[in-house]
Amino acid sequence: MSFSLYENAPLAPYCSMKVGGNAKYLVLPKNEAELLEAMGSFCAKGEKYIVVGNCSNLIFPDEGYDGAVIITTSMRGISINDGIITAYCGETLSTLARFACENSLSGLEFCYGIPGTVGGGIYMNAGAYGGELSDRFIKGTFLNERLEKVTLSAQELDFGYRKSRLEKEGLILISADFSGISGDKAEIRAKMDELMATRKAKQPLEFPSCGSAFKRPEGHFAGALIEQCGLKGFSVGGAQVSEKHAGFIINRNNATATDVLDLMEKVKEIVLDKTGITLEPEIRVIR
């Protein structure tokens, strides 16, 4: 066994919300070979497993995960060839944006400050400030449920708002190719700095969170609806609707996963009752 395996490992330190119980097994593969070996091993044993990135948009419950959690953040590497950027699944989206900037390529500035990885970003078609990864994604190398390596284009991934084919079929990204638009490095850097300044001014980055707690309802903004319902500062246990940005639920004071999930459910109920609009969680709950 070439990969390192940890038993009864705490998951909260790996999750941006800093909540959740322990995993029966934890694996941190350093490369594609270790990932494939780990997945094959758990498949052979009939052991439940999940492959995740930076855990910036998901929550494990307080009872933990009765299986293997494979975290790919050590699977890194980024390069450029003929203007095409290739990034491995464990690279952060901020690194992707910085790399594009260093190579005078625009179009990925919106990624700067998104806390997820390339793998997780493609899974959910991450985006911000009017941009989405699907805008720049060309093709990727994936493992399917039979652990076969396949190459799929952007058109084949059925991208939508915060979704892709990966979720439906259990596809695991190994690496992805992105296009950029030739631009001025100083202008690209200035745009990234502007977006980061906006994030710091408007988002509660000083507290653990999973970013936007709910998807944007058609024709509305989740944060605005929540604020309209008077829920800024509303809390359950140590979890709170941010007073800075109502679209964020934060771990204000040693929250549990149950606190966060109960708060999300109460917010959904109140918003539906007062506005008739059903909020859909953007945060994934892994059970």
Say which residues have a Cβ less than 8 Å from residue 159's Cβ, sequence separation at least 6.
125, 132, 134, 137, 165
Kind and range of the H or E run holding 169: helix 165-169
Kind and range of the H or E run holding 198: helix 185-202
Kind and range of the H or E run holding 49: strand 49-52
Angle between helices 93-102 and 185-202 (to 10 degrees): 150
| Neighbour count for residue 223 (Cβ, 10 Å) | 21
End-to-end CA distance of the chain: 27
Residue type, 213: A
Catalytic residue set: 162, 212, 282
150 closest CA partner among 140, 158, 159? 140
Per the structure block, which two tokens stand in for 206? 């000083």
CB-based contact 80:103 (threshold 8 Å): yes
126 closest CA partner among 139, 111, 113, 140? 111
DSSP designation for 20: -
Q: What is the DSSP string of 114-143?
A: --SBHHHHHHHT-EETTEEGGGTEEEEEEE
